[in-house]
Each structure stands twice: as structure tokens, then as C-alpha cells.
Chain A
Amino acid sequence: MAIIIEKLGGNNRQVKHYRFAQPSVSIGRGYDNDIRLDDPYVGAEHAVIEQDTEGRIYIRDSQSLNGIHVNGKQQQQAELSKDDVVVLGKTRLRIFDSAEQVEPALRLSVIESRLTILSHWRFTLLLAFVYALALTYQTYLHTFVEFDVGKMLPRLVSELLILSVWPLLFGLLSRLQKQDARLASQYSILLLVVLVGMGLSLVSQWLKFNFAQFAAWNGVELTVMGVLFFSLLWLTLLIAFHQPTYRRNRIALGCTFLLIACLMGWQEIKQADFSPRPNYQFVLLPYSYAINDGVSTEAFVEGLASTYQKTAASRSKD
């Protein structure tokens, strides 16, 4: 049995912690107190905290100028429990018995221990280099005049700066929570996801080239995008904050659904709008990427009937 006094910062997070085995503790700005608060609004002898034999804790005002506020209410004397916030001058305290239970420990995520490699700056730089190479090569393949590497540099820098928004934002948020920013890990995860995304888009090009007729492409694409975004957000949260797994799952899932819903809504709006131009995406790859020769002219022309039917059906819709 002992008196625990926590000094609180904004957000009610603990900034300092005291433990007293004696039954009475004095608080004030004077040098004689058990706890000395360096707060000009606190009196020299401001308050006394006492614990009785059954463990109950009381606070008593020592006729201070600004008094004691318990949960926002001025009190001469009050019994305190763990949830009460006591304010002396401008200092916020929480006072309770040491017998109070702490919350059970969070289980360390298995993934977290495997992510240690991400926290090495050397690994991050390697990823950034791979990303820069991939981007340069892609640009080279889309340049149809003389390719100038010098012109590529500003583009690379700006792309990396744009990408930096995500890790810097979460780094800042975790600093605000008094935790490490762990920027190397944040950068590594983002770059990994971006590289995986680039790889997947190549796969999707191949699929669209060969199986353009498959009607559910849009759904597949959205699902894959959702999974990718979920992974990114989940891992980012894991690194940025200390939070229970169920909470992280919920936040990541919620944000992913929101994103997918926005994308789907946007597509719906675009489709419902009248457009005098056709809306299609044409993927073209050399013959070596084709899985077969496609259909004959006769089969192609016959197959067009379904598109006539679809458009004829949309006559009556609006």
C-alpha cells in the first residue's frame, strides 16, 4: 500500500511518476514539500494528500490562493479514485493507491520481430535505389526521342519527395505520441509497397492484353488495390503506434473500405455521365506476350452482337 502520484501532460499522458510509502504527502511550491511543483500558480503549501488504513486516499486544500479542482470542480477536501484528475494551479495530477491493477501487456506482433531488417537505413537506401532504377527504366521505355538521364534527376527527386509525405506524416504522429519516429522502417515499407504495386501493374497489363473480355477485371483490380493499401496502412500503424492488434485491424480495414467505396463511387459517377467519347483502356504488347492467336474474323464479328445488345438496352434506361 502506497500513494502513487502521476504528473500529467496534455492528453492526460503521464510525464512524471512518484511513489510514497508514508500515509501523508504534502504538495506545494515551497522547498519543504514532499513534491515540489514549479508552477507559479501553486502556493508554497498548497495541499496535503493522506491515506487511511483501508487504503482510501483524500486530498485537502491547505488554504491555497487558487484552490484544488477535482474533475473541474473546486473542492476543499475530496476522496480520490484512479480516474479523477486533480488540478493545482495549472498542474494536472492523478493520485491513486499502488494496489491498482495495470492493463495486461500487449503481445508483441510476430511480424514486428521480422521487420527489423526494415529499420536499417542501408536497406532503405537500397530500396530507394531500386525504385529510382525502376522509374528511370520505365521512363526510358516511354521516351521516343533522345533519352536524357540529366532530365530524369529532377523527376526522381520530386517523386521521392511526394512519396516522403506518407512516412514523414506518420513519423511526426508517432513523435507527438512520445515514441520513436522510426523513419527508416516507414520509408522501407512504403518503398516496398510501391515496388510491389509496380510489379502488379505489369502483371495486370499482361492479363488485360490477353483476357480483355473478362468482365470482372475492375473488381479484381479494386480488390488487389485494397489489399495493397491495407498492408501498407497496417504495417505503417504497427511501426508508428503502440496499439492492440484488434484496434490496428479495425483502423486499417475501415480506411481501406472507405478508399474502395470512394473509388467505386467515383467510377459509378463517371459511368453514369454522358460522354461523347468511348471509355476504354487499350493495352498492347508484342506477340511474345500473347498466350494464343485470338479468334477468327468470323468469330470476332459474331461476338460483337453482345455489345450491340448492351448499348441497345441502355436506350431505355434514361
Chain B
Amino acid sequence: MLISLLGSVASMPLLAEENAKDVFGHYQPALFQIRMIEVESGNKSSIGSGFQVSADGLIVTNYHVISDSVFYREKYRIEYLTHTGETGPLTLQHIDVVNDLALVRRESDGTEFFPLAANLPAQGDNIFSLGNPHDLGMIVVPGTYNGLKKSSFNQKIHFTGSINPGMSGGPTVNASGQVVGVNVATAGNQIGFLVPLAPLQALVKRAQDRLPDSFLDEIQRQLIVNQERLLSPFIQAPWPMASLGQAKVAGEVVDFLPCWGDSNANDKNARYLTVQKRCRLDEEIFLNQRLRTGTLELEYEWLTSNKLSSTAFYNLYEQGMQSAGPGNNAGKENITNYQCQQQRVTNAQSMKLRFVFCTRAYKDFDQLFDVLILGASYGQAQQGLISHFTLAGVTQQMSQAFTHRFVEAMAWQ
């Protein structure tokens, strides 16, 4: 990693090198390592980066860096570490779980801070990501601004440069040292993602607001707002239909849900044909180490066979129905077991369907559920349609409305 880092620095134009040095030198007092301190042991349990955005001590970091202190308030406290090695406590002010941002405050006299840029840079501009990867000390990583990530629901900046664990929460600045984004994730080799300006500005603006009474309630409120935005296109109108084999299933409802297709047409031994379509929102919302939410999966599989008897075909078909799982990770502390019910349904398109519907409740959020459904058509002797969706962190009302649209959006051609 170190070698590749040096390599990339060396290949940058001279100007960039100058800028990087300047920016780093000038703003170093406004850069912090953010550490979660486990109260019992008094030692740090996880680290991230953060940067000051106002003269009166407001610091921005990632929500996921400080999430432990929201869910386990007694067990953890937040501390900062300056470049000169001083430490001090931080108090949580505001959070934005959907964009993975948090605002904390330090009571101290340091007045150096990063100004926020007014606009996003132009595609191809050099930008610099700052942070403390793997607790190695503060570094600067030059890279390229590559626009907003295509067809995403909650937008992220695509940064071509290495973002490593520990740099989370650090700022990414333009050549004049103004913040254009916050380091948040990596997709491997030189592909990094940043939280863009807009949510960052919105969060900083909220500094004047009263502190939330309960951060958990605040998280639930934000999740519900986010889910309403995500699901309302699905709920407002019947879904457009697209064909899959001899069946018709949901077409493109929104442009931020990428779909992938597959079939076993090239398998010479198989005595049946299966055609699949899987759509999955490729972002999720981090709540804590063992709890992710905000996922959406939509899957269809069309099966047919003229070589198997009807009974054998249905046995095959039945096997495809036994292993539905959730789309998000969740642990025992945060979620209940699934409860399921099964029902035979005839939808308005006269398709005969049999469903298993399962839901589990979030223990910390009294209105949120994970929901999954698995359905199979049973009206035709030699063909079948498996349909499936999972939703994470939704209210009963929204998920029931979604289910209604989902069940209606299936037909035979």
C-alpha cells in the first residue's frame, strides 16, 4: 500500500504536490483523529478522522465512526487527538445517518478551521483527501474528482484515489483548501466515495438547532423520511411491466435500482430452463457494527420445463422457495426473530400465487421492520414464476403499500 501511495504521489504534477503540502501544513491544527474510548478499559476501541468547520469548535466526522456512542451510551465516549498529541472530550451534536455524517463539538480554543466550498469542483480537478489511515498519522492523498456516482439514490462523490480504514470522516479539499466532501467508503483499487457538499452544508447549518432529546428517536425519524423518499415512487403508481420468459414482472420503476440478469440456457444437462432478474439497491445505511438497514432487493425467476413431469417440475420449483434470507445484516441485540405467514392469492391479473411473508421488528425503533416476501405462481403445470423482495427499516404502512403494488405487478403474457 505504501509503495503504491508513493508512486501515485510521484506521478502527480508539480503544482499538485505544492498544493498538497500547503493545504496540509496550513490546516493540520484543524484535523483530528476521532477515537471511541471504551469506558471500562479506558482504551480506544475504534478510530476515524474529523475536521473542524467553525471557529467555535464544531467538528465533522462520519456517523459510523461514533455510532457506538449512540447505541451504547454508557459504554463509550468520544475523544479527539490533535496533531500535537493533545486529547480532549467531544460531545455529539447532530447526526445524519442516511449520509453517514455526525457533528461533534470540542470545548477548546483552537480557531483554525476548514472553510466549506461553495460549489463542487469540475470533473477531472485534483482534490486531496486527508485523514489518518490505520492509525499511521495524518496523511494527504491526492486524487481526482470524478463527478457524482451514477444512478445512486443517496448521492456520493466518486473520488479516484485511495481511501483507507481510519480516514473515514476526514475532509476532501480542493486546491484552495475548501472542503468539497467527506471521506466515507472505498470500493477497492483507487475508487473512493465521499459524502458530497449538500448534506454537509445542511448538517453544519443545523448546529444552531436544539440538540435532539434522543438520538435513537432522531435516527428513526431520519430513516422514515429516507424510506418515504425511496419507496414513494413504488407506492404512488402501479409499476411498469417488463417481460421475463412467458411472464410479466416489474420493469424499471426508478433509475437508481440496478438490475442484473442470468439464465441456465447454456447448461446442457439441465432439464429445465430458468431465467432470473435481480435488482438490488447498492447502498445501505450503517446504524452500528451489527446493524445495517435501508436495503431494497427485488428478484424474479421464471422457470419452465417440457422434459419434467408436472409433479417433478413442482418439486424443483418448490426447492427454489426454501431459502429466503434478509438483505441486510442484523444481530440479536438489535432485531427480533422473523415471524411468517403464508397465503394463496389471486391478483387482479388472475395470476394464482402462493406467498410466504415474513417480518422482524427493530428493538431500538418502535416503528421499523425488515420485511421479506417470497411468492410462487401455481396456476400453470409446466411453468412458474418465483418473486421476491426484501425491504429493510420500513414502517408497516409503507411496506404494506409496497407489498400491494408488488403482488399486482405480475402476470402471464
- Residues of A with Cβ closer than 8 Å to B? 140-146, 209-210, 212-213, 271, 274-287, 290, 292-298, 300-301, 303-308, 310-312, 314-315, 317
Contact = CB atoms under 8 A, between A and B. Distances in A.
Contacts of B357: 304, 307
B377 to A, nearest CB: 9
Nearest to A294: B344
A301 B338 contact: no
B248 interface: no
A295 B344 contact: yes
Interface stretch (B9-17, B123-131, B310-318): B310-318
Interface stretch (B151-159, B254-262, B402-410): B402-410
Given A294-B352, A306-B341, A307-B340, 18 more contacts: A142-B315, A144-B272, A275-B338, A277-B324, A277-B326, A282-B356, A284-B314, A284-B317, A286-B314, A287-B352, A297-B408, A304-B359, A305-B400, A307-B358, A311-B336, A311-B361, A312-B361, A312-B366
B333 to A, nearest CB: 9
Contacts of A285: 314, 378
A280 B358 contact: yes
Contacts of A297: 345, 347-348, 404, 407-408
A142 B346 contact: no
A161 B310 CA distance: 32
A272 B337 CA distance: 9
A311 B323 CA distance: 20
Given A213-B343, A279-B338, A144 B312 contact: yes
Contacts of B317: 284
B378 A298 contact: no
Interface in B37-77: none
Contact of A315 (B308, B312, B336, B344): B336
Given A301-B407, A315-B363, A284 B326 contact: no
9 contacts: A278-B325, A284-B321, A287-B352, A294-B353, A297-B347, A297-B407, A304-B357, A307-B358, A315-B361
Question: DSSP majority for the A interface?
Answer: loop
Contacts of A304: 341, 357, 359, 400, 403
Interface stretch (B87-95, B229-237, B368-376): B368-376
Contacts of A311: 336-339, 359-361, 369
Nearest to B376: A284
A146 B307 CA distance: 10
A300 B407 CA distance: 9
B271 interface: yes
B339 A310 contact: yes
A283 B342 CA distance: 10
Contacts of A293: 344, 346, 352
Nearest to B378: A287
Query: Which residue among A140, A144, A212, A283 has the maximum number of chain B CB atoms within 10 Å of its CB?
Result: A144
B402 to A, nearest CB: 10
A212 B343 contact: yes
A211 to B, nearest CB: 10
A298 B404 contact: yes
A290 B352 contact: yes
A308 B318 contact: no
Contacts of B374: 282
B369 A308 contact: yes
B342 A314 contact: no
A91 to B, nearest CB: 66
A149 B374 CA distance: 35
A192 to B, nearest CB: 25
B208 interface: no
Interface in B379-413: 379-381, 396, 400, 403-404, 407-408
Given A144-B272, A144-B316, A277-B326, A286 B378 contact: yes
Contacts of B403: 301, 304
Nearest to B407: A297
B354 interface: yes
B322 interface: yes
B355 interface: yes
Nearest to B379: A287
Contacts of A281: 322
A294 to B, nearest CB: 3
Given A142-B312, A284-B354, A305-B396, A213 B341 contact: yes
Contacts of A213: 341-343
Given A283-B318, A287-B379, A293-B346, A275 B337 contact: yes
B320 to A, nearest CB: 9
A203 B310 CA distance: 18
Contacts of A307: 339-341, 357-359
Nearest to B332: A274
B345 A276 contact: no
Nearest to B269: A145
Given A277-B326, A286-B381, A311-B336, A294 B318 contact: no
A145 B267 CA distance: 11
